[in-house]
């Protein structure tokens, strides 16, 4: 896979390269696009659009399945900002801490 292929797949799914996406969001968008372009839903031949959507999904899933995840405390709090705030202010008496 090339970066150009990844960008094309993102464009097909109406995502930006700056979006922070979850696997669930990609799967949901794939399902929505398949429903939109399915021949039974539109009543016309849409095999080209269906193939483009499925090809884009394959590229995105390949990228996501090969992505390395970080389990550092810093990354955890970046991914879970509510928990970061709770930890930051849990002992502050102004915010109800002890």
Domains of the chain: 3-67 (1.10.287), 70-98 (no CATH)
Lookup: tokens for 38: 């399915």
Residue 72 is predicted with a pLDDT of: 94
**CA dihedral (20, 25, 29, 32) positive or negative:** negative
pTM confidence score: 0.74
Q: What is the pLDDT along the chain (98 residues), one digit of tens a residue?
A: 899 999 999 999 999 999 989 999 999 999 999 999 887 777 666 678 889 999 999 999 999 999 888 899 999 998 889 998 888 887 777 767 66
Residue 52 is predicted with a pLDDT of: 94
CB burial class (10 A; 0-12, 13-18, 19+) of residue 50? middle
Of residues 56, 55, 59, the one with CA closest to residue 1: 59
Can you count the helices (H) and strands (E) in the chain? 6, 0
């Amino acid at each position: 896979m090339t970066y150009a292929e990844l960008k094309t797949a993102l464009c097909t799914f109406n995502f930006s390269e700056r979006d922070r996406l979850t696997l669930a969001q990609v799967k949901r968008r794939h399902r929505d696009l398949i429903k939109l372009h399915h021949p039974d839903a539109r009543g016309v031949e849409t095999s080209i659009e269906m193939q483009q959507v499925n090809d884009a999904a394959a590229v995105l899933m390949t990228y996501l399945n090969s992505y390395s995840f970080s389990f550092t405390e810093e990354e955890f709090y970046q991914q879970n900002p509510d928990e970061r705030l709770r930890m930051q202010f849990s002992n502050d008496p102004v915010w109800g801490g002890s």
